Structures are given as C-alpha cells and as structure tokens.
C-alpha cells in the first residue's frame, strides 16, 4: 500500500485543515513514519506529523538546487512581486494561522492575531521591497571602476525554534528568497503546523516548485542531515547553545557560512533616577509568552536605594498577571511548550531554592491549572555565580539583585557568557548614553523593550550567536557579495603598472 494511504495525510486544528506531509519540489511527500504533535494547552495530541529523515532532506535539497538557477535569474522585481503575494496570502489567513499556532505552541491568541502573524506578512513585504532597492555605489581606484553586487548564494537551510515558529522562520525565509536563494525549512517538532500552512500560501502565491521546501521531523533525524548536507550554501539556526554546537560541527566540513541566534541571559538595569512606573511595567512584561523569549531580560538589577519600593510594586503588578488558556482574551501568560521543557524549568527553580534563593512569587507549578502551567516566579537572594543567574531558563522566572552604583551595575550586567540584549531604565540622558555604550549586548533598549525596525541589525555577542541579520546585514549573509573591477575604457592590457592588491 502506498505510504500516502498508510499514514494520515491531514489533521484539523481549531477548524483549520492542515496537510501533515512534507512539502518538497512543489508537492506533498509522505514520510515512512510520523511523530506526535502535542498541544501544550492540555497535553492532547493534535496531529501525527510525517517525520523526515536523510531521504526527505536529500530530496528537498535536490529540489531546491534544481529550482535555484531559474529563481536566481528571475528579475528582482518579479521575485519581489511574488513575495508580496505571499504577504497578502498570510494577511488573508491571519486568523487561521493564529488559531493553529496558539493550539500548537501555547502562545497567546490575541498576540498572534494582533502582532505575530501581521509581522509574518511584514517579513515578506519588507525584504521584497528592500531587495528592489539593494545597491551599492560604485567605487573608484586609480581610474578603475569597482562594482559591488549581491549574488544569490544558493540553497539556504533554515532551522527554527518553537517559541515563535512562523515569525522566526519567515524572518529568515523572506530575505533568503528575496535575494534569489531557494530554501529548505526544518520547522520545530514541538510546533510544526504553521510551516505546512505557509507552504500552501507559497504555492497559491505562485512561488515556483522547489523554491521553498519543508521537511518536518526531529533534530536528530531531519535537522542533523540537513546541517551536514553538502548541497546547502547557507545555514541559519535559531535555538539553544548546545544544539548550535552540534549544528556547527555538522556544517563545518562543508565550510557552510552560519547565522546563529542563540540563547540569552539578558539584564534589566533599573537606576534610582528612573520612571518607576515604567521600570515596573517593563519588568512584569518579561513574563510574556511564559518567559519563552530569547530576548527576555530575566536578570533584574535594581539600585539598592529603590529596591524595596521597586520590588513591592513589581510583586503587586505581577500578582495581577492572569494565567490560563491562551485562547481566552483575558489570559496574559499560558503554559510551557512541552512536558520536557516544563520539567527543565521546574528543575532550575528547585535547584535555585535548594541553593539559597528565595521565591517571593510563585516558585513552582500552578496546581489550580495543572498540566504545563508554571506560575510566574520571582527569586531573590540567589548566590552570585549560581546557575539561576548564569544559565538560560527560558521560562517565567525572574531574579532580582541589587547594585550600589553605576560601575557595579555595568559589571553585573556584563557578568554573563551571553550577550543578546540588555534593557536600561534611567531618567538621566547622559547616563543612558554612558551605560548603554558599555553594555555587552547585540541590542540595548533604553526606557523601552522589544522595539526594532526590520532594517536594523539583530544578533548576539558571545554565546548568544554568530552574525547579524536585518536590512543590509541579511543580504550580506544570504548573498555572495562580489566586487567586479573594470579597467578604464580603452585599456588593452590586464592589470595596472601602478601595482595591485592581492
């Protein structure tokens, strides 16, 4: 019996019919087995998704390589027009995408409707527009003209996480396709369903067969052979530091350029001259998405002169955070994504308490809701250098520490192997300039949080990643930047008697 008849081909989630097979070369392809997709809301199975292996990865890379020459040669205006149709397709299905992703990864439905899915559409539209304007002025040296161009690199492998699967995937897919590359996407096994819906949208928008491919599966069975595949030309990975190490090792023999967005242990530095209402609001905002946000500022550092009042007000506001079903408009935070991750977060908190940290809010599972709901937690008195202060928890867990002066605040903020982001709250413009310049982070927010234009660079220092994406930085990565040097008109000999570089 054909595989398509042996295994389920579709599932229905929140009234949306979804094909659970791979998308390779412009058609649905069955796998030899499936894996269970479990909703974190109630830990029920919502799909049996076809599991990819090296076989499907080989097929997807081959399809992408076959499609690459025509897509790369297509005039940029035509490529961009297709990607704008993809954006329109996303916008037409925002409600469906929002409902499916909420059920799949447990994030708030209201956030998906109002922010996340519209941003998915923006990822395509922004980079489509940017590609049409992409240019570098000619340079001149000793009468020679140097032309800088951006050539498509080839096949781009994109491996994405579960905390914002569609938004984070399209943040890479958009510029990769706009630059003229073809793509093989490996979505997260804990939240794979919206990637399949995106494949449908791509096809409806007229994306040629093989330009966009989706291979579902685990990191071991699908991610590893994709990372190691000799047919890929770029690799973008978002996830944990340990997994990044394995991905880099797999890609290294093929000398594949990498872009990594990894973990964080970001500080939120609150000075005594701050707007205290703002500082409190920014602190409690870190519980967004149940703390499953790489950019979250979970190490709260506050001036000791205002620490008591600040902490009291943070507690008062945090107690108003509503935890529950993410499909309810009244809910502020929902469940953690899986049982494995829930146990990991709980282990961090339990070890911190055993080591002397004191919970002043939460500290464990939400017994009233059960399942994968972990209470918003605030810990104080953690010992310097302890695990809870140095390792990424990726859950709704904040620590509060105090500092005595600006020098100590900067030292504490930078006392981390990570360097993804930092948030600074101060009422002194000079201090804002002075301290932000000294913070070791790819992004620093001053008196704000989570604000960034798609044209700005994004990435982390240290163990938070490799490279930058956004605007021109995306095209620097997803293209081969070429310099073509033209001799002055009328020259008939190669080179220059005046000397050359090289």
Tell me: the pLDDT tens digits for 370-422? 999 999 999 999 999 999 999 999 999 999 999 999 999 999 999 999 999 99
d(CA 121, CA 109): 17
Maximal CA-CA distance, the chain: 83
Q: Say which residues have a Cβ less than 8 Å from residue 88's Cβ, sequence separation at least 6.
A: 121, 205
Q: Say which residues have a Cβ less than 8 Å from residue 124's Cβ, sequence separation at least 6.
A: 83, 84, 86, 87, 90, 170, 173, 174
Give the three-class secondary structure for 45.
strand
CB 173 within 8 A of CB 184: no
Angle at 243 between CA 415 and CA 344, to 5 degrees: 70
CB 46 within 8 A of CB 37: yes
Q: Torsion angle, CA of 342/283/327/240, rounded to 10 degrees?
A: -40
CB 139 within 8 A of CB 148: yes
Give the three-class secondary structure for 360.
strand
β-pair type (465-466, 258-261): antiparallel
Backbone phi, then psi, for 37, in 5-degree steps?
Answer: -105, 115
Q: Which CATH superfamily is domain 267-446 in?
A: Aldehyde Dehydrogenase; Chain A, domain 2 (3.40.309.10)
d(CA 388, CA 381): 11
CB 122 within 8 A of CB 87: yes
C-alpha pair distances (Å), 436 with each of 196, 320, 401, 411, 412: 41, 31, 19, 12, 14
Q: Torsion angle, CA of 168/170/173/176, rounded to 10 degrees?
A: -90
pLDDT at 489: 83
Distance of CA 104 to the CA centre of its chain: 17
Q: Which ranges in the chain are annotated with CATH 3.40.605.10? A: 7-262+464-483
Q: Which ranges in the chain are annotated with CATH 3.40.309.10? A: 267-446
- Using the 8-state DSSP alphabet, how is residue 487 labeled? P
Q: Which of 61, 81, 79 is nearest to 70 (CA)?
A: 79
Give the three-class secondary structure for 184.
strand
β-pair type (27-29, 22-24): antiparallel
Q: Where are the beta strands (DSSP E) in 240-290?
A: 258-261, 267-270
- Note down pLDDT in tens along the chain; length 502 residues: 344 458 999 999 999 999 999 999 999 999 999 999 999 999 999 999 999 999 999 999 999 999 999 999 999 999 999 999 999 999 999 999 999 999 999 999 999 999 999 999 999 999 999 999 999 999 999 999 999 999 999 999 999 999 999 999 999 999 999 999 999 999 999 999 999 999 999 999 999 999 999 999 999 999 999 999 999 999 999 999 999 999 999 999 999 999 999 999 999 999 999 999 999 999 999 999 999 999 999 999 999 999 999 999 999 999 999 999 999 999 999 999 999 999 999 999 999 999 999 999 999 999 999 999 999 999 999 999 999 999 999 999 999 999 999 999 999 999 999 999 999 999 999 999 999 999 999 999 999 999 999 999 999 999 999 999 999 999 999 999 999 999 998 655 444 444 444 4
CB 420 within 8 A of CB 441: yes
Give the three-class secondary structure for 448.
coil
d(CA 303, CA 246): 40
* Residues with catalytic function: 261, 294
Backbone phi, then psi, for 89, in 5-degree steps?
Answer: -65, -40
Angle at 123 between CA 80 and CA 17, to 5 degrees: 95
Q: Which CATH superfamily is domain 7-262+464-483 in?
A: Aldehyde Dehydrogenase; Chain A, domain 1 (3.40.605.10)
């Amino acid at each position: 019996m054909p595989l398509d008849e042996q295994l389920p081909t579709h599932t229905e989630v929140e009234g949306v019919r979804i094909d659970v097979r791979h998308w390779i070369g412009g058609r649905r392809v069955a796998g030899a087995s499936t894996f269970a997709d479990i909703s974190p809301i109630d830990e029920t199975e919502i799909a049996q998704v076809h599991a990819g292996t090296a076989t499907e990865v080989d097929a997807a890379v081959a399809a992408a390589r076959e499609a690459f020459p025509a897509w790369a040669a297509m005039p940029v205006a035509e490529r961009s027009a297709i990607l704008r149709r993809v954006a329109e397709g996303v916008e037409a299905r925002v409600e469906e995408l929002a409902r499916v992703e909420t059920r799949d990864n447990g994030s708030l439905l209201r956030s998906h409707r109002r922010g996340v899915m519209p941003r998915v559409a923006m990822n395509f539209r922004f980079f489509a527009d940017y590609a049409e304007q992409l240019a570098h002025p000619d340079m001149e040296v000793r009468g020679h003209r140097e032309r800088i161009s951006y050539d498509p690199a080839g096949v781009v492998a994109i491996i994405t996480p579960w905390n914002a699967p569609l938004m984070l995937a399209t943040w890479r897919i958009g510029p990769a396709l706009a630059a003229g590359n073809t793509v093989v996407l490996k979505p997260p096994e804990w939240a794979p369903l919206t990637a399949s819906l995106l494949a449908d949208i791509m096809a409806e928008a007229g994306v040629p067969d093989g330009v966009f491919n989706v291979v579902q599966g685990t990191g071991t069975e699908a991610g590893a052979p994709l990372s190691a595949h000799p047919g890929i030309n770029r690799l973008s990975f978002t996830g944990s530091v340990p997994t990044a190490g394995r991905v880099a090792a797999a890609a290294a023999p093929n000398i594949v350029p990498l872009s990594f967005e990894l973990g964080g242990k970001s500080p939120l530095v609150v000075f005594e001259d701050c707007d205290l209402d703002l500082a409190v609001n920014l602190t409690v905002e870190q519980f967004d998405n149940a703390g499953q946000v790489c950019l979250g500022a979970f190490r709260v550092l506050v001036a000791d002169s205002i620490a008591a009042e600040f902490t009291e007000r943070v507690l008062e506001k945090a107690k108003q955070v509503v935890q529950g079903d993410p499909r309810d408009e009244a809910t502020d935070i929902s469940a953690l994504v899986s049982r494995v991750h829930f146990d990991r977060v709980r282990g961090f908190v339990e070890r911190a308490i055993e080591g002397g940290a004191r919970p002043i809010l939460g500290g464990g599972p939400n017994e009233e809701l059960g399942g994968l709901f972990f209470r918003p937690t605030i810990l104080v008195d953690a010992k310097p250098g302890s695990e809870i202060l140095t390792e990424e928890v990726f859950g709704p867990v904040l620590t509060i520490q105090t500092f005595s002066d600006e020098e100590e605040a900067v030292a504490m903020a930078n006392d981390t192997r990570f360097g993804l982001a930092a948030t600074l709250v101060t009422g002194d413009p000079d201090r804002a300039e002075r301290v932000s310049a000294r913070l070791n982070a790819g992004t620093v927010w001053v008196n704000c949080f989570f604000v960034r234009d798609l044209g700005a660079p994004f990435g982390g220092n240290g163990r938070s990643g490799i490279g930058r994406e956004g605007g021109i930085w995306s095209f620097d990565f997803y293209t081969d930047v070429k310099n073509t040097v033209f001799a002055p008109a009328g020259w008939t000999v190669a080179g220059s008697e005046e000397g050359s570089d090289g």
